[in-house]
Amino acid sequence: MTGKRSFVMAVAQMGAVNLDDSRASVVARLVEMLKEGKNRGAQFVVFPELALTTFFPRYWMGDAEAQARFFEQTLPSTETSPLFDTARDLGVGFYLGYAELTPEGTPYNSAVIVRPDGSIAGKYRKIHLPGHSDHKPEAPFQHLEKKYFEVGDLGFRVHNVPLGDTEVRMGMCLCNDRRWPETYRVMALQSAEVVVLGYNTPSLNIHWNEPVHLRTTTHLISLQANAYQNGLWVAAAAKCGSEDGHHMIGSSVIVAPTGEIVARAVSEEDEVITANVDLSLGEMFREHVFNFAKHRRPEHYKLITERTGAGAPVK
Amino acid sequence: MTGKRSFVMAVAQMGAVNLDDSRASVVARLVEMLKEGKNRGAQFVVFPELALTTFFPRYWMGDAEAQARFFEQTLPSTETSPLFDTARDLGVGFYLGYAELTPEGTPYNSAVIVRPDGSIAGKYRKIHLPGHSDHKPEAPFQHLEKKYFEVGDLGFRVHNVPLGDTEVRMGMCLCNDRRWPETYRVMALQSAEVVVLGYNTPSLNIHWNEPVHLRTTTHLISLQANAYQNGLWVAAAAKCGSEDGHHMIGSSVIVAPTGEIVARAVSEEDEVITANVDLSLGEMFREHVFNFAKHRRPEHYKLITERTGAGAPVK
């Protein structure tokens, strides 16, 4: 397949990370899955959102306590360097979600794309923070992303990531971002070919009695339609299963630009899935049905940037 | 269910309309399905795109010939008034797609929403025209929407449609518009609760060897994800089956704000499907996960209106 622009992608789904699991034990699991991905031919591995700890926004605590227990001040650090070292040794790139505390003390829900040589190609700070910032003692658990994190300030950027002979235009996002079509569109308008993301999605909605099965249905259709409508590949890694009794959905997937799921995790545990990512497939969509230059009509899209919330009909 | 904001929606899928079918015979089929919808409790019926004729953009001809054979200069006209009269008599509203020639001679691919009293609530002119404007004699058929129609000049508007005790905020689009997330987002930002649309989708892609099954897959996931991501109902009516040997997909559906298909046509012929449309279901999504005012970040969406085609990554 000389000359064909393609690479093998792995998604490394993680089972539960409990409150008392050490960073070292978590990093050891990530390293193990990185090696499994390499053994199955992967050149890039996608890990979940907030992969290094339990999904702590479900707990109410002071910001200082949260930052001391759950945030990273440097990446790589002593605890996370085995992952970076193994990736460089194996020549495998990866995406990792983590809680970032900047030198200035600003907290973000962040992710990085790391090249196969171990260097960081780009960073993303989560823009669509879900949940709330107030304490809801009556709820079965909290969803305090709006308390613990600031809204990301880096936008949705696209990075060139060299994977073997192929330089891949890769964007990234995190969890709730995947349900917002603007996320993918902004990256597609920068010619992204692949979007990678991690997520922690509680099986219960604390705001209304949403049927539990919808959590998986809506996760999948959001990834499928947005992959298709932008002519790009999407790879999404869950942290899932029961973290100290709090259940989160699995169903990590790799989705083709056809909108089809081409690989899907079947467990709610650590599990590696892979697919061959043929970048020319996306080109067929971007050249024809979704040839943006030919078919888009931004003069009719103005409300998307002029309004934040929903308002009255335009006369 | 006093006080509950809901209504019964019907989608009236149409089988083939061949070149030699008369307008009168087509209107009689529409009237028949309107009556069936009424008998099944429907207060609103969605008909297809270009419902009154065969899907003529598949044929190369002069603009004057096309306009004389396939366009409407008034609506209702002598030929279409039985539909409007029956709707008023039964107290059923409807959506109808047709080829519009304005008094100034401008051709559009248009649709109207008609109130149960027979008056026109609003008009839409198709914005995302697919296909090409040049003759492709080597292709098995043409897709000349860019030749026969001008780009719509009315935007994506939302109309109040009284259905029984309920005033429904309804938007509309046509066919290829349903694959573009901007379509739904612009209407959701005007508080649309329901989007109705018709389509003619050839089973074969004349631009590349797209697997035939994808035509249906991508149709469905586009409707499902955009219904969900905007917390609204979507009702989509096909003209389908084999028109003079040219096959088009069926799978007319009604989709709930959960992203789930709640009614689906099983044939490729004239077929009515119905569903109870509970408008409060959409509210749950628009108040929580898709509370636009709380969660959207237009400062990071600027490329959507600043760029038409895809370009280089933003530094």
B-chain residue closest to A180, CA distance:
B229
The secondary element (H helix, E strand) that includes residue B67 is: helix B63-70
Residue A56's pLDDT is: 98
CA A110-A115-A116 angle, 5° bins: 135
Nearest to B300 among A158, A186, A295 (CB): A186
How confident is residue A280, by pLDDT bands cut at 50, 70 and 90? very high
List pLDDT tens digits, range A172-185: 999 999 999 999 99
Residue A99 has pLDDT above 50, yes or no: yes
Chain B contact for A127 (CB, 8 A cutoff): yes
Residue B40 DSSP code: T
What's the rounded Cα separation, in Å, for the pair B183 and B199? 15
B13-50: pLDDT as tens digits = 999 999 999 999 999 999 999 999 999 999 999 999 99
Q: What is the pLDDT of residue B187?
A: 98
Pick the catalytic residue: A175, A193, A243, A271? A175
Give B102's contacts (C-beta < 8 A, 6+ positions apart): B108
- Say which residue the tokens 């612009």 belong to: B186
User: What's the pLDDT score for residue A12?
Assistant: 99
CA separation for the pair A306, B257 (Å, rounded)? 24
At residue A165, does pLDDT exceed 60?
Answer: yes
State the Cα–Cα distance between residues B85 and B90, nearest whole angstrom. Answer: 9
Which H or E run contains B13? Answer: strand B6-13
Query: Please, which pLDDT band fits residue A310 given cuts at 50, 70 and 90?
Result: very high
Q: Decide if A151 touches B, using CB distance below 8 A.
A: yes
Where is average pLDDT lowest: A242-246, B3-7, B64-68, B276-280? B3-7
Which tens digit of pLDDT belongs to each residue from A129-143? 999 999 999 999 999
Rounded to an integer, the average pLDDT of B266-295 is 97
- SS3 track for A62-89: CHHHHHHHHCECCCCCCCCHHHHHHHHH
- Predicted pLDDT of residue A203: 95
Chain A: closest CA distance from residue B309 (Å): 4
Mean pLDDT of the region A255-266: 98
Domain spanning A6-306: CATH superfamily: Carbon-nitrogen hydrolase (3.60.110.10)
- Cβ–Cβ pairs < 8 A, chains A and B: 225
What pLDDT, in 10s, does the model give residues B171-226?
999 999 999 999 999 999 999 999 999 999 999 988 888 999 999 999 999 999 99
Min Cα–Cα distance to chain A from B304, Å:
6
The H or E element that residue B276 is part of is: strand B271-278
A64 touches chain B (CB under 8 A): no
Average pLDDT over residues A94-105: 98
Residue B2 confidence (pLDDT) above 60: no
A138 is catalytic: no
| Contact status of B136 with chain A (Cβ, < 8 Å) | no
- Per-residue pLDDT tens over the stretch B59-81: 999 999 999 999 999 999 999 99
Expressed in angstroms, the distance from the first to the final Cα of chain A is: 55
Are the C-beta atoms of A12 and A47 separated by less than 8 Å?
yes
Among A83-87, B105-109, B207-211, whose mean pLDDT is lowest? Answer: B207-211
Distance of alpha carbon B210 from its chain centroid, rounded? 23
What is the mean predicted confidence (pLDDT) over B90-117? 98
What pTM was estimated for this model as a whole?
A: 0.97
DSSP structural state of residue A299: G
pLDDT of residue A208: 87
Q: Position B31: which residue type?
A: V
Residue A305: closest C-alpha in chain B:
B298
Catalytic residue, chosen from B38, B100, B173, B175, is B175
Work out the average pLDDT over B307-311: 98
Q: Which two tokens stand for residue A280?
A: 């020319």
